[in-house]
């Protein structure tokens, strides 16, 4: 398949897509039960101004995803990924261009987290203008109910 926008469909997420998307995410290491990302979480972020771009082949196969959320100051790119059989062929660049075009129209900065060992993704992001954000560490609490963070001060 020739790398061209005319060979794919870029469309918004539908809840019926989730099973195929979840399979893609697990295949490429973006999914885990710990993340607790499901169709309801996606719909929740969409209701708050997010966007979820699905890249689909002419055979209705989901090739890639790009999930964008915003806090009104920055946009955040989540679960940006391409199905393994389409990786290293230019499809990721095409999806990222579509994503950045959308974010540019919003007039916001864009931030993405990428695993330090994901060299191919880092190369793509750097080619597209992303730069490391200094010496920041990223911290997360996945479940506030299972921590001491709600204790007394």
Q: Kindly give the pairing relationship between strand 109-112 and strand 74-82.
A: parallel
Q: What is the pLDDT of residue 152?
A: 55
Q: Are 44 and 85 in contact (CB under 8 A)?
A: no
The label of the residue with tokens 């499809």 reads 91
Cross-strand bridge partners of residue 109:
74
Question: How are the residues of the chain apportioned to helix, strand and coil, as percentages rounded to the nearest 5?
Answer: 40, 20, 40
Topology, domain 5-146: Aminopeptidase (3.40.630)
User: Helix or strand or coil: residue 83?
Assistant: coil
- The whole-angstrom separation of Cα 81 and Cα 99 is 12
pLDDT averaged over consecutive 10-residue blocks of the chain (153 residues)? 82 96 93 82 94 95 96 93 95 96 94 90 93 84 72 55
């Amino acid at each position: 398949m020739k790398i061209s926008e005319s060979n794919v469909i870029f469309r918004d997420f539908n809840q019926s897509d989730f099973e195929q998307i979840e399979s893609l995410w697990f295949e490429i290491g973006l999914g885990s039960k710990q993340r607790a990302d499901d169709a309801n979480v996606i719909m929740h972020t969409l209701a708050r101004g997010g966007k979820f771009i699905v890249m689909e082949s002419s055979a209705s196969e989901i090739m890639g995803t790009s999930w964008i959320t915003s806090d009104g100051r920055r946009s955040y790119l989540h679960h940006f990924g391409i199905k393994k059989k389409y990786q290293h062929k230019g499809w990721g660049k095409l999806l990222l261009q579509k994503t950045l075009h959308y974010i540019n129209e919003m007039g916001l900065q864009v931030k993405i987290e990428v695993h330090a060992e994901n060299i191919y993704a880092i190369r793509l992001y750097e080619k597209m203008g992303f730069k490391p954000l200094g010496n920041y560490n990223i911290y997360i609490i996945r479940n506030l109910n299972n921590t001491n963070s709600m204790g007394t001060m």
